[in-house]
Amino acid sequence: MRIELRYGKAKYISFIILDVLCLLLANVLASWLYLNHTETGGYTYTQYSPVVLIMVVIDILVTALLNTLCRVLRRGTQREIKEGIKHISVSFVLLAVVLFFLRAGAAYSRVTVFLAYTFYFLFFVGSHIVWKRVLQSLRKRPERKTAILMTTDRFVDEGIDQLEKLHIDVKNIWLLKNLDIKTIKDIDVVGTYEEAASVICWKMLDKVYIYGLDHHMVPGYLLKACREMRLKFNLVDFNYRIIEIKTIENKDPAMGALSFLEGKRDIPFPIRRVYWITKTEAERRRGFHAHKLNCQLLFCPYGVIDIILDDGQKRTTVTLDRPGKGLLLMPGLWREMVWKQSDSVLCVLASEYYEAKEYIRDYDEFIEYNSRYRDLADPLKESAAPETVPAESVSRETVSVS
Ligand code: T46
């Protein structure tokens, strides 16, 4: 609730007022129906009114404690019904407990209370659906689409630039690891993924973009929240990056150096496999394939290895010649490795388990595969970020592979 109040105070409060109004209306209707039209056993309006007051207090308490207005602006009818059931059944039980302790239950018409909560459930769901439509239609549409950018600290600047090229305004940034950074280029950084979900809802952002981050690294909570808000993930990918691996040189050069990589902190994908290639003679070539899914980080702790990368249009060579140089490879790149020095060691951290079917080992097939996704690869093209990727099935098949 604290987060909701931070990002959408007025809208959040309007929902609380709406709920209270619905509760009052439900009570008026229930008491009018029951007290006026049936044999009530002597129950009166005056008797009944303190119960309504207790109901209102309980209602506000339940909203705050169970956060039943969580992401209300963007949730679908199913979730609305679920929250309605949760809210009303907890309120009902709490009211029963309060009346029990006040020893006042017998003085009130239980049928009226039951009827009131039934009407309240219908009003709760109905009014939320109508009110969020009203708020959405009142929203002043910004000239450019707005988005939250999910990325790592390493790629955040590039990500902002890429979205700038797509004419998208980055309103908030969510970083894979929380670095206690408050703003980047005057854009607010949200601290937690709960906050990210809340920002998307209450600021009514149009898009969610992921840059340089394997979708597996997006926490399940956020995936679920976006799915519930019917927001798809838009993936803007690069195909490779050279990264610096942290290396500590010993003061005494004879003692050497220590390089290290830390899972979630340095690698923008989950590490499912580690392998290394040894005992290869100079000028030998390996590779000659591309991956459909696998993201990798390559480094060479000993020796010199040329990595030739081919995106189907041009070839680039990256030389791994020191332990502190890493090469991050996204899927969809043809690679060949040339050993420039005998016994050089190639180490690889991979995002997927070994799966022979996930390799493309035929160059023509690679060109054909790549051309299907080329349009997606150009960040300046409107189609660069596939909008049709359902959050639950974000797949590398739909990701740009320039
Ligand atoms: C890559 C470059 C940089 C397995 O059984 N499990 C494994 O995890 C791997 C990596 C390979 N294998 C088998 C498959 C082949 O029968 O080991 C054999 C040699 O593999 P491959 O010819 O693919 O090796 P390279 O050096 O051409 O490619 C390797 C990786 O396979 C590839 O993912 O990107 O290193």
| Ligand 1 atom closest to Cα of residue 337 | 3
Listed in sequence order, the residues at least 6 apart from 305 whose beta carbon sits closer than 8 Å to its beta carbon are 319, 320, 321, 337, 338, 339, 340, 341, 344, 346
Interatomic CA distance for residues 186 and 190, integer angstroms: 13
Output the residue whose Cα is nearest ligand 1's atom 20. 287
276 lines ligand 1 (CB under 6 A): no
Ligand 1 centroid–CA 362 distance in Å is 15
Output the residue whose Cα is nearest ligand 1's atom 8. 354
Total number of residues shown for the chain: 402
Catalytic residues: 289
Mean pLDDT computed over 249-253:
94
Interatomic CA distance for residues 122 and 111, integer angstroms: 17
Task: For the chain, give percent helix, strand, coil, nearest 5.
Answer: 45, 25, 30
> What digits encode the pLDDT tens for the residues 151-210?
988 889 989 998 998 899 999 999 987 778 899 999 999 988 899 999 999 999 999 998
pLDDT value of residue 105: 60
Ligand 1 centroid–CA 155 distance in Å is 28
Interatomic CA distance for residues 195 and 226, integer angstroms: 12
Ligand 1 centroid–CA 334 distance in Å is 14
Interatomic CA distance for residues 92 and 86, integer angstroms: 10
Query: Residue 362 corresponds to which amino acid?
Result: D
272 lines ligand 1 (CB under 6 A): no
| Ligand 1 atom closest to Cα of residue 286 | 27
pLDDT value of residue 400: 33
221 lines ligand 1 (CB under 6 A): no
> What digits encode the pLDDT tens for the residues 290-303?
998 889 999 999 99
